[in-house]
């Protein structure tokens, strides 16, 4: 919230100065005008380039058709996604609700967007968006009045200013082509950059060591207390080597006992003493674990009379329990006074529910027909992943997808990489990978700078494209939706006069714009109200 306050203060000072300069006529001397809080700088430069690029009209008409298809598909997808998210809002805890900063997709304000990569992506996205508008304007034989840059403290975007009268009068096919190529170009650029990032850059990277990589550490867990942190690679526990895929099922020490963990931090080989055991990292409210008195940070020592040494033990025991059966459970809790783990006196039994039934009822999803207690766990409280798995997911997020839902899920995970700390990929995580293949010998820092740039050009272009594809005026998608709706209404309401048809079109258009606004705002305020 502090970052948002600072950003708003800077914007406030900028607005005061901008209006003062505008009133004194200083902005006008530099071909600048005010549009709300924005400063718009217009120039004739670039018109000749647009004119030259617009000459292959057959290519651009085909490109416009492709853009329309992409925008229609994106419009349907993003609306379906927003509606789906709206139904999920009641189940989102207030503390997990998105912040205002998260909804503002600007570098320096949005906490997940790195400033310099974000600015690069935004500059590229806005430039190609507006240039595409300009080219199709000329392909449609409409005049381009000016080009320019929009400022809000810093350059926020570019624009191509068409002849508005000509744009209104031209036939819908040409007009919709102008609207569609902006977001369409952003989406195409996103696809190209994603392919370059995944299929070229990431596909060339190789892990230095084949050992579990710590991707997160639960607060207050044995791993935290023992000094493990994000980016560490675990080599062995009590002398037992931990290789690829072995972290969850190796022969771990008894829960609550001391374990010697050997790990790499960068190029340094270190050792730490960590309390062994399967740690609860997340406890869902009002589910069996919560009702049994289990809490985040506790170590699961036994379940149904069996000792739990690793996560494979925990899963196997759950599979042996019939849902609805009450079974004994014991756990260890950290005593901050003594600095040690001791038996949790409040925990004695637990009654698992059916995972299949619970997921079907609450999420409408299929799940395994096994006992479910509503927890996430991690050995020692350190969540790990295999380095090669990380590369595989970055290189091909759709690997193993055998259904449309898997494809959608892979896409959303790929977009959400910044939330997992995987973009930008930087030290210490990038230190465990080296460029290989055609990039062998390139300095690692430069390799990942190029890779990260491609990802963020993809990410920002996708966000700009999807946002502008929304059926909400004044976005490109809103004008497209209005023109397409007008064509439908004119066919359906042939017998009505033009004023009546226009009323239908305008009413539905603005209804959709308000619906989009509501769906976005609902994600912000809904969890906090319910």
Give me the pLDDT at residue 28, please: 86
Q: What is the mean pLDDT of residues 509-514?
A: 91
CA angle, corner 395, sides to 234 and 420, nearest 5?
Answer: 55
* pLDDT digit string, tens, across residues 435-461: 988 898 889 889 999 999 999 999 999
Nearest one of 377, 380, 374 to 353, comparing CA atoms: 374
Banded pLDDT at 495 (limits 50, 70, 90): confident
Residue 3 confidence class, pLDDT cut points 50, 70, 90? low
For residues 372 and 166, the model is more confident at 372
Q: pLDDT, tens digit, for every residue of 457-485? A: 999 999 999 988 999 888 888 889 998 88
Give the pLDDT score at 155.
Answer: 63
C-alpha closest to that of 103 among 114, 115, 111: 111
Q: What is the pTM of this model?
A: 0.76
Give yes or no for residue 122 having a pLDDT over 70: yes
> What is the mean pLDDT of the segment spanning 61-80?
94
The pLDDT > 90 percentage for the chain reads 42
**Of 275, 285, 373, nearest to 327 (Cα)?**
373
The burial class, CB within 10 Å (0-12 / 13-18 / 19+), for 175 is buried
Say yes or no to pLDDT of 164 above 80: no
For residue 511, give Cα distances in angstroms to 480, 481, 507: 15, 12, 6
Region label for 43, one of left (φ > 0), alpha (ψ between -120 and 50) or beta (otherwise): beta
Average predicted confidence (pLDDT) for the chain: 87
Tokens of 342: 């001791």
Residue 400, pLDDT score: 67
pLDDT score at 158: 65
- Predicted pLDDT at 95: 72
pLDDT for the residue numbered 389: 82
pLDDT over 80 (residue 404): no
Predicted local distance difference test score (pLDDT) of residue 303: 96
Give the domains, in start order, of the chain with CATH numbers. Answer: 2-199+459-529 (no CATH), 213-385 (2.30.42.10)
């Amino acid at each position: 919230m502090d970052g948002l306050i600072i950003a708003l203060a800077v914007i406030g000072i900028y607005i005061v100065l901008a209006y003062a300069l505008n009133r004194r006529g200083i902005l006008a001397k530099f071909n600048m005008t005010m549009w709300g809080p924005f400063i718009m700088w217009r120039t004739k430069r670039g018109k000749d380039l647009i004119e030259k690029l617009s000459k292959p009209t057959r290519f651009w008409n085909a490109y416009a058709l492709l853009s329309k298809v992409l925008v229609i598909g994106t419009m349907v997808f993003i609306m379906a996604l927003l509606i789906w998210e709206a139904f999920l809002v009641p189940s989102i805890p207030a503390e997990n609700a998105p912040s205002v900063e998260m909804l503002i997709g600007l570098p320096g304000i949005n906490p997940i967007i790195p400033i310099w990569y974000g600015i690069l992506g935004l500059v590229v996205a806005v430039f190609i968006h507006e240039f595409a508008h300009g080219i199709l304007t000329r392909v449609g034989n409409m005049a381009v009045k000016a080009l320019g840059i929009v400022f809000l403290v810093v350059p926020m975007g570019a624009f191509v200013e068409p002849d508005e009268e000509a744009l209104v009068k031209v036939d819908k096919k040409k007009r919709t082509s102008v609207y569609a190529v902006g977001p369409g170009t952003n989406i195409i650029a996103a696809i190209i950059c994603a392919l370059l990032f995944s299929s070229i850059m990431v596909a060339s990277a190789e892990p230095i060591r084949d050992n579990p990589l710590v991707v997160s550490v639960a607060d207050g867990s044995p791993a935290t207390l023992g000094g493990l942190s994000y980016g560490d690679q675990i080599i062995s526990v009590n002398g037992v080597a931990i290789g690829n895929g072995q972290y969850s099922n190796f022969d771990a020490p008894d829960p609550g006992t001391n374990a010697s963990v050997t790990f790499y931090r960068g190029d340094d080989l270190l050792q730490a003493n960590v309390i062994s055991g399967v740690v609860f990292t997340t406890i869902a409210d009002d589910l069996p674990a919560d009702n049994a008195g289990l809490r985040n940070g506790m170590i699961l020592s036994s379940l149904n009379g069996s000792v739990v040494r690793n996560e494979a033990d925990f899963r196997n025991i759950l599979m042996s329990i019939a849902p609805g059966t009450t079974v004994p459970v014991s756990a260890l809790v950290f005593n901050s006074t003594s600095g040690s783990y001791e038996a949790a006196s409040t925990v004695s039994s637990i009654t698992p529910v059916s995972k299949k039934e619970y997921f079907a009822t609450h999420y409408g999803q299929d799940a395994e027909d096994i006992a479910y207690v509503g927890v996430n766990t991690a050995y020692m409280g350190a969540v790990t992943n295999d380095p090669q798995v990380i590369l595989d997911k970055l290189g091909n997020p759709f690997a193993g997808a055998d259904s449309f839902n898997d494809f959608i899920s892979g896409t959303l995970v790929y977009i959400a990489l910044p939330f997992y700390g995987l973009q930008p990929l930087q030290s210490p995580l990038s230190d465990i990978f080296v460029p290989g293949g055609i990039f062998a010998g390139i300095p690692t820092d430069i390799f990942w700078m190029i890779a990260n740039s491609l990802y963020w050009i993809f990410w920002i272009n996708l966000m700009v494209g999807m946002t502008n594809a929304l059926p909400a005026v004044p976005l490109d998608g809103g004008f497209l939706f209005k023109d397409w709706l007008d064509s439908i209404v004119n066919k359906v309401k042939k017998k009505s006069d033009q004023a009546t048809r226009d009323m239908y079109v305008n009413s539905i258009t603005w209804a959709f714009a308000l619906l989009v606004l509501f769906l976005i705002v609902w994600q912000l305020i809904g969890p906090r109200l319910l």
